[in-house]
Structure 1
Amino acid sequence: MGKAARKKGPKNNEARRQKVRDVFVGQPFEGLAAEPELIAMREFVPSATAALSIADSPDRTVTLATVLPMAAAAFVRSDGERFLGLQVQTRSSDISRDLGRALQWVLDAEPGAVLSVPDTTTPAHAGDKRLQDLLVADAVLEPTLHTDFSWWLPEDTDPQGEVALSLERANSAIMPTDRVGPAAYWVEAGDKSHVRWVRPEPENALLQALARLSAAGEIGLGEDSRYAGSFRAHGLLVPVWDVDSEAHAREWIEPTQQLGERLDKALASLDETPLDATERRARDGLVGRQLTLR
């Protein structure tokens, strides 16, 4: 029995090492200044693109995109422009590693090449590069929002066949969306409109600051708005406000900026003044208002 156990030992050790490497990463974009925008583009922005800053190849350009044709992980357009997709169907325990593998693939791919799904099956190893290893860490992401997915194709291209069908289906599913601030997005969802804001702060600090604003009656975005709750996405908290569906998206830019200033002051005050009883009750109420994004 001892001999058999010794023979199985190395395999068991390797299995344990592999299990440790493949542990779930709850905050996959941590350490990147673009973390909130990456989360927004992955989770709820329908059609947007942004230029990536590649750390070792500043002269090489890759366009980050919300959704690519057929929900591909990456592809090189016929004109040579390279795209990396965020909203894909499959994922491993570490989204940043999946995206890192796809980014390395697209940097070396030829025009017309498509990576249909990210590499989520190759065992993790020490040589894997995550987004944090490939991108400029302090680079700010500046998304460009689009009203359709025509950017999938080079200019003056007439889509045909499956590409045309995929383009039509994707366009029909877009909900009107506008960026009203850094990582803050207005969206018209049927007969309702919302502002969703991915915040970079740790959840506990953010909830305390929001509670302070709530207790002071300053948590809203102004008239015809209501704080609806929040949801978690990739390790960060995303507060949501219901807003007047008759108002244009641009009407929420200034209120969002003003709320951000109030929130910054509330966050700064936490170091000197703990929550009082009223603010603690407000925090408990906010904790109970967790939303599910649909």
Structure 2
Amino acid sequence: MSVRKSGRAGTKPRKARPDGGVNPRQPCPCGSGRRYKSCHGSSAGPVEVAVTRPFDGLAAECELVALREFVPSATAPLALAIDTEREITLATVLPMAAAALVRTDGRAFVGLQVQTKSSDVSRDVARAVRWVLEAEPGDVLPVVGPDTDAGENPERLQDLLDTGATVEPELHSDFGWWMPEDADTGGDVAASLERANAAILPTERVGPAAYWVDAGDKAHLRWVRPEPEERLLPALARLSARGELGLGDNTRFAGSFRAHGLLVPVWDLDPEAHAREWADPAADLGKRLDEALASLDSEPLNADERRARDGLIGRQVTIR
């Protein structure tokens, strides 16, 4: 007696779906963008995916990106939304690129330009904030990562800060603020400070998230913009096609780079001009850019503007 086989000849039996009924080949419900079998359905556990915009949702997002990526020496008070008596100062770079420290005088610092062990900068900075709240004078946190967590549900910076607060950084010409005023700055400390100070490029803030930097033979304006790239680029292209993308004589739009999910346009400037001379031109450019952004809703790009946009896309790089 013959036995009838189910299904068509040559077909493989379907594999049972994992708990929850998710097809192993479908996108993982966690939103990572990976297939379920390569993420939460993997026997090795979920794969950690880099957070593209770690500071998204914070009013200070653009300033935080600038302070992490290219501002050399700056500090700013953190507007904490949690109950604590300790004041914490956000810093660009700390000695030995430490994640956090408490000076011997009790002043607490959290660094932004640090080595991290995870793919979420916001979570790492939050870990450093939580660590520094319990640290003693003289304590240093060299590196931050998952092993710094005190609980099972690590917080992000958005959980600890006043999300509507802006950051007003104070720029410094050196790293003398690393040490208390009465500290001994001889020996190794003096040598470390000297090396750090020698690497600083003169930098000044000429507007919100807009920084002038003297690179020696050139000067630049680097401006972290909050708009999504798909809107910012057409607006920049509209100004470019009109010849309105510059900041005045002896300036030119050099290109842009991406950092932590935001676009940072860069302009070459006249190196002979002082930083404060670019504050008004930058503000005027900001107004033109706002108008161009608003016009996109009612006026699509014309042929010249589309060509300008293609040219701007060709001058982009990603650093984070």
Q: What's the Cα RMSD here?
A: 2.2
Aligned length in residues: 283
Q: Which letter maps to 2:76?
A: A
Q: Distance in 2 between matches of 1:147 and 1:57?
A: 33
Is 1:168 aligned to 2:174, yes or no? no
| CA distance in 1: counterparts of 2:261 and 2:318, whole angstroms | 15
Query: 16, 38, 45: which one pairs with 2:71?
Result: 45
How far off is 1:158 after superposition?
Answer: 3.2
Provide the residue aligned with 1:198 in structure 2: 224
**Other-structure match for 1:211:** 237
The match for 2:316 is 290
1:19 maps to 2:53: no
Aligned partners of 1:123, 1:139: CA distance in 2, in Å?
25
User: How much has 1:196 moved relative to structure 2?
Assistant: 0.3
| Paired position in structure 2 for 1:3 | none
Question: What SS does structure 1 have at the residue aligned with 2:255?
Answer: strand
1:39 Cα offset (Å): 0.5
Percent identity over paired residues? 67
Superposition deviation, residue 120 in structure 1: 4.4
Q: 1:93 aligns to what?
A: 119
Instruction: Please tell me whether residue 155 in structure 1 is matched to residue 186 in structure 2.
Output: no
Question: 1:8 — aligned with what?
Answer: none
Contact 1:54 1:60 in 2 (8 A): no
Work out whether residues 49 and 63 of structure 1, in 8 Å CA contact, stay in contact via their aligned partners in 2: yes
3-state SS of 1:259 partner: helix
Which residue matches 1:235? 261
Higher RCO (CA 8 Å, separation ≥ 6 residues): 1
Equivalence for 1:5: none
Q: TM-score, normalised by structure 2?
A: 0.83
For the pair shown, the structure with the greater C-alpha radius of gyration is 2
Matches within 5 A, 1:7-86: 18-20=45-47, 22-57=48-83, 59-86=85-112
- State the Cα deviation string for residues 151-184 of structure 1 (Å, max 9, x = none): 0111233313332221111001000000011000
- Which residue pairs with 1:268 in the alignment? 294
SS of the residue 1:264 aligns to: helix
- Please give the alpha-carbon distance, in whole angstroms, between the structure 2 residues aligned to 1:27 and 1:145: 24
Consecutive unaligned residues of structure 2, counting only runs of 5 or more, are 1-38
Go from structure 1 to structure 2 and tell me whether the alpha carbon gap of 1:54 and 1:244 turns closer, same or farther (over 3 Å shift): same
Matched, 1:177 2:230: no
* Offset, 1:60: 3.2
Give 3-state SS (helix, strand or coil) of 2:290's partner.
helix
Residue 291 of structure 1: how far off its partner (Å): 4.3
| Offset of residue 290 of structure 1 | 1.5
Give 1:259's match in structure 2, choosing from 285, 290, 307. 285
The structural deviation recorded for 1:90 is 3.2
Alpha-carbon distance in structure 2 between the residues aligned to 1:197 and 1:164: 33
Q: What stretches of structure 1 move > 3 A for 4+ residues in a row?
A: 12-18, 120-126
Matching of residues 76-155 of structure 1 within 5 Å: 76-121=102-147, 127-155=153-181
User: Match of 2:21?
Assistant: none
Distance 2:231 2:89 in 1: 33
Say which structure is richer in helix: 1
Paired with 1:136 and 1:42, the residues of 2 have a C-alpha distance of: 19
Asked whether the equivalents of residues 18 and 124 of structure 1 are also in contact (C-alpha less than 8 Å), the reply is no
Which residue is equivalent to 2:6? none
Determine helix, strand or coil for the equivalent of 1:19. Answer: coil
In 2: Cα distance, 1:203 partner to 1:124 partner: 37
SS at match of 1:168: helix
User: CA contact under 8 A between 2:66 and 2:209: conserved in structure 1?
Assistant: yes
Q: Please report how far the alpha carbon of residue 58 of structure 1 lies from its aligned counterpart in structure 2 after TM superposition.
A: 6.4
Deviation at 1:248, TM superposition (A): 0.5
Distance of 2:211 and 2:145 partners within structure 1 = 30
**Which residue is 1:6 aligned to?**
none
3-state secondary structure, aligned to 2:213: strand
Q: Which deviates the most, 206-215 or 282-291? A: 282-291
After TM superposition, the score normalised by the length of structure 1 is 0.91
